[in-house]
Structure formats: structure tokens, C-alpha cells
Structure 1
Amino acid sequence: MSAPSPARLAAVDLLDQVLDRGLPLSEDARLDRLAPADRAAAGRLAADVLRGLERCDKILKNYLRKTPELRVMNILRLGCLELCTGGAAHGVVSDCVNIAAAGKATQGAKGLINAVLRKVAAEGPAVWGKLRVPRLPKWLRKPLVDAWGPHVMAEMERAHFNGAPVDLTLKGTAPEGLEAQVLPTGSLRLRDAGQVSALPGFKDGAWWVQDAAAALPAKLMGDVSGLSVLDMCAAPGGKTLQLAAAGAEVTALDLSEARLQRVQENLDRCGLRAKLVAGDALEHRGSYDAILLDAPCSATGTIRRHPDLPHAHQGEKIAELIGLQSWMLDHALSLLKPGGRLVFATCSLIPDEGECQIEEALERHPDLKVIRPEADWIEDRWRSEEGGLRLRPDFWPQHGGMDGFYMAVLTKG
């Protein structure tokens, strides 16, 4: 037996982490030890399996008398995904058997894996495309159907299954050799990004990775040149970079020093400056011309990009997050200078984390007003009743979708 592919082995480890321990894909330090190409491939493979989990299990069920233990099942899921989406049968089957051989607990399943995946290779590809678009787990699907209706939910699930291309925000002009689609909002979209750090302009700091929807809250800040701006929950840093590039005097606040270190690395790469502060946003003091509050939330708007989220969480903390968002919004308003502008945003599809937050804030603060955002890239169907913008994964289907987001521009006095 030869050693298994590092990328495939790491992908199975990632699936174990999500489906057994309930941890997100991003929390595996072992990936850092892989070569960049293997690291990218492992993450892509694990994410693709999670997107197609329902289809994989449906196909595998035809060839299993009973469900094997989880790691064996995850090896089978990885093989099924690859075999049904164009993977070379011999290489995929051989590598999956080698992954089983590499572990004491799975060595006895080599024959099962070989036999099942050979059958999948012969019959699975014809079945794969006939199965329904995978659905979200019931704990999340039901409230979203209640909020948006079954038709919209089906379109959002289609967008989740299709995955997400890589979007870039430019610091200035696009570097030579970077082939990308220019989106209506100005972001660049790459259809086949490959290894991001190898793309033209990365080392020179000409751009940073940021979903097109995630780039919009900072755009709604307007002209921030020379203004003191607080990025209240700054990590991973895309909005801090946007504000700094626009000439703002940015204070980037985040609870995690480790996450702020990543922000600093990106600032250094892009030749931008900001004041980084590690601390609790609810205890922060100061006075700012403008504030961007991208509040902690369920992140349900990013499932097309992070298909592990519905499996790593069960919604147990959403009520707690809704309360935290309300407190953070109230505190942010206390830090805002009279006449200043505050942009509230969440990458959530749940109205309680978006539209409802603003409606309730308007009731708590009689002097608070919503500023209707105006820009030529804003589509009418994005607008919500209270004056904010509601973005969904099924929007922009002709471009490849977008993350789900809510955002509103506020002022007081």
C-alpha cells in the first residue's frame, strides 16, 4: 500500500472534525503543515462533500447493509463525491483504500471501501444529477422557510450547493494578468482561483479576498477620507482594509488578538495602516465620526462558502447572539458623534438578526434614523421595509450568487 494523498487524507480528517466533533473547517491547525496546494485541495474536497452530503449518503445507502463507523463513512463519502463529479476511478478508489489502511481503526474496512466505491464508480455518476438539491438540516431550514417561503428556500439551497467563487476587493487598479469578472458593485470574481497566494497582485497587496456582499457595508459608509472610523468587530479584516484604503483613520477592534494578527498581516501586505485594539466591544470607549458594526451572528448567509456551518452548529446560540447584537448596537450608538454615520451589518439570513434588530432599535432610540442608501449598484429587490438592504444567496444567479447579508445605515440626532 502506498501513502494516501495528503489532500484526501486531510479532507477526511476535516470531515471527522465537523461531523463528529462539531468544529468548523477553519479550526484545524494540521492544515497549516500542508503545502499550500494540498491545503487548498483538502479544504475544497471537504467543503464539496459537505455540500453534497445528502446525495452521497443516498447513493452509498444502496451499497451498505448498515452504516459503518463515522471515519469509514467519511472515506466513502469523499470517494463518492469525487467519483460522481468526474474523479478518475482508479486513483480515487485506490487512495480511499490507502486512507483506510493508514489507520488502525479503519484497516479492517479496506475491502468494504474498495467494493462499495467500485460500484459507485460504475453506477453513481448516472444517479448523482437526478437526485434533488441537498437541503439544509431541519433545525435551520424550517425558520428560513418561515421567513422567506419554500420557493426562495429552494433557490437559496441551490446557491449553497453550487458553492461560491472567490471574490476580490481591489486596493487600486487591477494588476496585469489577473483574469476576473467585474461585478456590478466593483468587486472582482474569479471562476477558478486555484491557489490564491499565487495569483497576480497577491504579494504586492493589490487586493484581498472578500465576498462581494461582504464588501458592501463599508461602501455604504460613504466618503470616509480623513474621518475617525471604528471597525467594531474587525476580524478577518476585509472591511478594515477597505476603510484604510479609502483614507479613513481606522481603529480596528476585535476580541481576539490572534485574529487581529491576521488583520495586521493583511494590512502589511497591502501597505495600509490602522490602529488595532484587542478588547471587548461592549467595554470600548471613544468618540468616532463613523462606525461599522458587522456584528457577531449565526453566519447563515455564508453557507455557500462555509457548508460546515449547519453541521458544526445546531442553532443553540442564536438567541444569545440576537441579544448581543442589540447590546452592541446600543453601545456603538453611544460612541458615535452627533450627525455621524453607523452601518450595522450581519451575514445572516435570519430576520431577527437583521431587519428586526433595526426595527427594535428605532423603538428604543427616538432620535435614531435610517438613511436610505443610494448607489447605482443597489437593486430595488434588495431594499427592505425599514430602509436597509437584504441580500440573499439566490440573488445574482447570472453572476454566481452572493453571500446572504443584512445592512442598514443609521444616524442619530
Structure 2
Amino acid sequence: MVVSERPPASGATPRRKKPHPNSRPERPSAPGLPARMAAARLLAAVVDARTPLDGLTDQEHGHPQFRALDQRDRALVRAILTTALRFRVTIGRLVAAQLERPLPANATTLMHVLHVAAAQILFLDVPDSAAVDLAVTHAKSDPRTTRFAGLVNGVLRSIARNKETSLPKALAETDDAPDWFRSRLVEAYGEPRGKAILAAHRAEPPVDFTVKRDPAGWAEKFGGIVLPTGSVRVARLPAAVPELPGFADGGWWVQDAAAALPARLLGEVTGMRVADLCAAPGGKTMQLILAGAKVTAMDTSKSRLARMTENLQRLKLTAELVNADILAWQPPARFDAILLDAPCSSTGTVRRHPDVPWSKSPDDIAKLAALQARLLARAFTWLKPGGRLVFSNCSLDPLEGEELWRAFLEAHPDAAPDPVGPDELPGVAGFVTNEGHLRTTPADLRFEDPSISGLDGFFAARLVRNA
């Protein structure tokens, strides 16, 4: 809040406030410092307050310190944060190796300053001297860290000086995941596959497109490849999404290859009334429309539905949009088919959301699994006898996938499992489990070029309602 001073009486001389004996003269902010300060503040929000990174860096509703930056600095903050979170354990080990004794437990602000700078020194195209100098200036600007400015300088300069030898060693000895997350992956997938998933999380993901038609043509335009799933993939975007050819004309939309699979499991939907639940931002809805379905798309978020409306208009597609809670809403008639892509822990998307292991917990997974079970039970009541339902989510955890599905079938004798056949997904039949479920992980879909390898972790299963 800014408080205006009362203007002095006519002829009076304005009085200057005497400076505090210990105050420093105000100095203009060093170029690049606001971005580093924002990165440290947002890193604290993720790690200490378990706040999702996407919300903090939303262009319109994100953290005020982030929104105060120009677009170039916003992109830098995103790069710093995703890197600092993706390699959090490795960075922590290299920082700790430079300390004579551990920092006090309450020195979290100092540690975030160090992690932000170390991420730039070790992994980003930022001059070491700039990263160090800005971190020291940052430390001096905060009363909580000013007395540690010399330590910041020494630790970071040592990391920069020794990184050629120390970084490969640290990467080989860590897997950059919190203990709880690593343990659950190994328990669910075994040691080799669990470690392969963790290794895949260290790589930046490629970008996938679902196209209306002519995948080979779009792959040539983008300099990418056509995946066995039919998606078009590029290692890196050649330009911002709205500037790419075909965006304004509605020729495609961005959608991870794994996320494009569940809608296909409904099979032939031409002319059917299909519900897409928890639908925004709408990729699966668009697939179903193109397949000939009459789609009712539902989501609880007005803002996400507004964005979905824009996407549908750009793609020249039409669906009935419903802003409602599945647990409270009742359709006027039952549906021929239903796709429920339920809200989950998002542990299958760590490649593009490296904050997930640090902002979620086992308790969150249990709560989300309970919510999914309620949503599934509710959605099943809306299905016509003989109709198909596909349940999916982007979690790697069996509690939200295989275990939840088995429990649902045991509790609903009128739900008959409808196993997915390997022949339904030509080229990627290995994604179909022995139980007839779809299961993908970031360690799957490997190519010689790691920059175009992997995909999100997804679970999907299918049932038919008995007559």
C-alpha cells in the first residue's frame, strides 16, 4: 500500500526523513536481479509450501513477482525453476560439498538463493560470473541472508570452478527424486524400470502434436517425425506455438502422445453421445469430435473451459460444454460412451512438471485416488447398458490406476472388464498390459536420439456396462 504524504504548507520547506544509522543507500536494481529474486521466491513456494509451479507462473494469475517481469525474464525464471527442480538432489549435493558444516535448518532462503544460482552455473547458458555476482547481490539485499554473502560467493565460485569433474560424478550418484517418490516407483515397477523412469525425468521432453490430417506433411513442416501412435513429434519448438504454421487455421493442437491414446480406446463412436469428463483443455474432446462423436465436455473450472472454448473455435469444432461438478450434476439422459480422464497426482508428467515430486506427497496420492473412485462410481451411473467407459489418468502410481480399477470392478458386478487388445495400438502394443490395461511410462518409446524419446506416464482401462 502506498501512503501519500500531505503537501507542505505554503512557504514551508519539506522535511527529509533522517536515515536510520544502519540503513543502506537505495541503489537501482542490478539488471537480471528481479528475475533471480522471483525465481528464489517461487522455488520456496514450491518446495516449502508445496505450491504447483504452473499456478505460480500463470501469465495472467500467477505470483505477482512473476507477473511484474517482462516476457523474456519470465521465460528465464521458468527455465531456472524447472532446472533447479529437475536436478534438485544433484544441486543440493554439490552445494553441501562446499560447506564446512551444514547450514542451519532455518536457512531455507539462503539455500534457495544458492540453488537458483547453481542451476544457472551447472545447466543453463548463463555466464558463471553473472550467476555468482547476482546471487551475492541478492544475498546482500535480504536481511535474512546478508551476513552469508561471502559464503554465497565462495560456494558458487567453487562450484563453477570444479563443475567439469564434479557434475558428472554427482549425476551418476543421484537420481534427483525425493525418497518417497523413488521408493514408490521402484516398488511399482522394479529397480531397473524405476531407475529408467527417474533417468527419463532428467531430460526435457519433446513436443507432440495431434493433427487433423496428414501427419507426414506436418512432420516435414516442423522438422519432426511421425510416431507409431500417429502423433507428430519435434525435439524443440521452432517458434512459439501461436506463431507455428497451422495454428491459426486449426490444423493441430499440442498433446502428448500418451494423452492421445485413451480417447482411441472408446473405439467406433460415430454418431454416439459421448461424455468427456474433466475435459479441459480439450485435447481428448477434439479427438472424439473428429472421430464423429456428439460430445458433451464437462469441467469444474470456468477458466479452463473458457480456454477450451477458444481452442474449439480455432479448430472449428463444436461440443456441448458443461461447467459442473460430476458429483453433483445429473445428465438428462445416459451416454453411449464415457471418457473419464480423472484429476490425479500427475506423477506421469514429471518430465514437463518437475515440481510434482516436490509439491506432492503420498497423502496427496491417497486423497486423489479416493476422489477418482468417487468420480468413477458416479460417471458409471450415466452409462447406458452396453455402453463403454474408459477411465484414465496421468499418474504412475498403481494406487491411482491398477489398484483403483480392480477395487471398482469388485464393487460393481454390473461392470464387465473390456480388455484392450494389443492389435488396437499397432506399433506400440507393448503399452498394453497382461490385464488389458494401457500403461505408459516416460521410459517407454525409446529412440536412438534421446531428445525425441519418451512420453508421459498414463494409465487407462475399459469396461462395458452389463445390460
Could you state the TM-score of these two structures normalised by the residue count of structure 2? 0.81
1:81 is matched with 119
Determine if contact 1:389/1:406 at 8 Å carries over to the other structure.
yes
Relative to 1, partners in 2 of residues 1:9 and 1:265: Cα closer, same or farther, differing over 3 Å?
A: farther
**Aligned-partner Cα distance in 2 for 1:18–1:86:** 20
Distance 2:187 2:248 in 1: 46
Match of 2:103 in 1: 67
**1:227 corresponds to which residue?**
272
Q: Provide the rounded CA distance (Å) in 2 between the counterparts of 1:216 and 1:48.
A: 29
Structure 1 residue runs of 5 or longer lacking an equivalent are none
**Offset of 1:121 from its aligned partner?**
1.1
Question: How far apart in 2 are the matches of 1:21 and 1:37?
Answer: 26
| Change beyond 3 A, Cα 1:334–1:18 | same
Counterpart residue number, 2:361: 314
User: Does residue 323 in structure 1 map to residue 374 in structure 2?
Assistant: no
Give the root-mean-square deviation of aligned CA atoms: 2.4
- Whole-Å Cα distance in 2 between the matches of residues 8 and 268 of structure 1? 38
Q: Greater shift after overlay, 222-231 or 6-15?
A: 6-15
In structure 2, distance between residues paired with 1:375 and 1:269: 30
> Is 1:92 matched with 2:92?
no
Alignment of 1:144-183 (within 5 A): 144-173=185-214, 174=218, 177-183=221-227
Taking a change above 3 Å as real, the CA distance of residues 36 and 211 of structure 1, as seen in their structure-2 partners, is farther
Of 314, 327, 346, the match for 1:269: 314
1:266-322 deviations in Å (ceiling 9; x for gaps): 223322222221111122322112111011222211122211111112221322222
SS at match of 1:153: helix
- Check if 1:49 corresponds to 2:84: yes
Give unpaired runs (5+ residues) of structure 2: 1-28, 57-61
CA distance in 2, matches of 1:316, 1:220: 31
Indicate the residue corresponding to 2:417 in structure 1.
369
Which of 123, 126, 149 is the equivalent residue of 2:162? Answer: 123
The letter of the residue matching 2:325 is: D
Q: CA deviation at 1:263?
A: 1.7
Residue 406 of structure 2 is aligned to residue 359 of structure 1: yes
Equivalent pair of 2:366/2:399 in contact (CA under 8 Å): no
Contact 2:219 2:226 in 1 (8 A): no
Moved more, 292-301 or 50-59: 292-301
**Cα 1:145–1:175 shift into 2, 3 Å:** closer
- Assess, with a 3 A threshold, how the Cα gap between structure 1 residues 104 and 190 changes in structure 2: closer, same or farther: farther
Q: Which amino acid aligns with 1:411?
A: V
Does the C-alpha gap of structure 1 residues 35 and 215 become closer, same or farther in structure 2, counting only changes over 3 Å? farther
Whether the 8 Å contact between 1:372 and 1:387 is mirrored in structure 2 is yes
Distance 1:223 1:133 in 2: 46
1:108 is displaced (CA, Å) by: 4.4
Greater shift after overlay, 112-121 or 341-350?
A: 112-121
Distance in 2 (CA, whole Å) between partners of 1:40 and 1:225 is 42
Give runs of aligned pairs for residues 106-255 of structure 1, distance below 5 A: 106-131=145-170, 132-173=173-214, 174=218, 177-193=221-237, 195-255=240-300
Q: d(CA) in 1 for partners of 2:246 and 2:41?
A: 32
Does the 8 Å CA contact 2:228/2:428 hold for their aligned counterparts? Answer: no
Q: Which amino acid aligns with 1:212?
A: A
Q: Does 1:412 align with 2:465?
A: yes
1:188 and 1:32 map into 2 onto residues whose CA distance is 33
> Residue 169 of structure 2: SS of its match in structure 1?
coil
Pair 1:381 & 2:430 matched: yes
SS in 1 for 2:363: coil
SS in 1 for 2:453: coil
The 1-side partners of 2:326 and 2:393 are apart by 16
Give the Cα separation in 2 of the matches to 1:325 and 1:269.
Answer: 31
Distance 1:175 1:154 in 2: 31
Q: Which moved more, 1:355-364 or 1:401-410?
A: 355-364
1:27 to 25, 30, 55: 55
Cα distance in 1, alignment partners of residues 320 and 140 from structure 2: 51
Offset at 1:333?
1.8
Q: Distance in 2 between matches of 1:167 and 1:34?
A: 29
Whole-Å Cα distance in 2 between the matches of residues 241 and 9 of structure 1?
40
What is the rounded CA distance, in whole Å, between the counterparts of 1:159 and 1:49 in structure 2?
16
- Which residue number in structure 2 is paired with residue 296 of structure 1? 343
Whole-Å Cα distance in 2 between the matches of residues 264 and 33 of structure 1? 28
Give the letter aligned to residue 294 of structure 2.
Answer: E
19 and 275 in structure 1: CA distance in 2 versus 1, 3 angstrom threshold:
same
Asked if the contact 2:200/2:454 (under 8 Å) is kept, the reply is: yes
Please give the alpha-carbon distance, in whole angstroms, between the structure 2 residues aligned to 1:330 and 1:248: 23
The offset of 1:344, in angstroms, is: 0.8
Distance (Å, rounded) in 2 between the aligned partners of 1:203 and 1:41? 27
Q: 1:38 aligns with which of 70, 73, 77?
A: 73
